[in-house]
Amino acid sequence: MTRTPTDRPGALIALIAIQALSAGFFLWDVLGDAMPEGMRALANLHIAIEALAAFGLILAVIFETRYLMRLLRRKAHLERQVSIAAGAFHDIMQDHFSTWGLTPAEEDVAMFTIKGFSIAEIADMRGSAQGTVKSQLNAIYRKAGVNGRGGLLGLLIDGLLEAPLVVPRDETTQQPA
55/111 same-domain check: no
pLDDT at 164: 60
Residues 111 and 67 in one domain: no
- Over the chain, what is the mean pLDDT? 85
Query: What is the longest distance spanned by two Cα atoms in the chain?
Result: 90
Confidence of residue 177 (pLDDT cuts 50, 70, 90): very low
> Is the predicted pLDDT of residue 3 greater than 80, yes or no?
no
| Same domain as 75, residue 12 | yes
Residue 88 in any domain: the answer is no
Assigned domain for 75 exists: yes
Q: What is the pTM of this model?
A: 0.54
At 149, which helix (H) or strand (E)?
helix 149-162
pLDDT single digits (tens) 96-122: 999 999 999 999 999 999 999 999 999
What average pLDDT does the segment 124-137 reach?
95
d(CA 133, CA 153): 17
Number of domains in the chain: 2
| Interval 42-68 mean pLDDT | 87
Residues 12 and 60 in one domain: yes
Q: Alpha carbon of 70 to those of 73, 84, 112, 163: distances in Å?
A: 5, 21, 37, 30
Specify if 96 maps to a domain.
no
Dist CA 160 CA 158 (whole Å): 5
Neighbouring-strand partners of residue 170: 175
For 9-32, what is each residue's pLDDT tens digit? 888 889 899 999 988 888 888 888
Query: Is the per-residue pLDDT at 54 higher than 60?
Result: yes
Let me know if residue 171 belongs to a domain: no
pLDDT number for residue 123: 96
- Is residue 171 scored above 50 in pLDDT? no
- Here the CATH number for the domain that contains residue 158 is 1.10.10.10
Task: Over range 139-155, report the average pLDDT.
Answer: 92
Neighbours of 133 (CB within 10 A): 25
Per the structure, the complete domain to which residue 158 belongs is given by 101-165
pLDDT reported for residue 101: 95
Closest CA to 140 of 122, 161, 125: 122
* pLDDT exceeds 70 at position 5: no
DSSP of 31-85: HHHHTTTGGGGGGSHHHHHHHHHHHHHHHHHHHHHHHHHHHHHHHHHHHHHHHHH
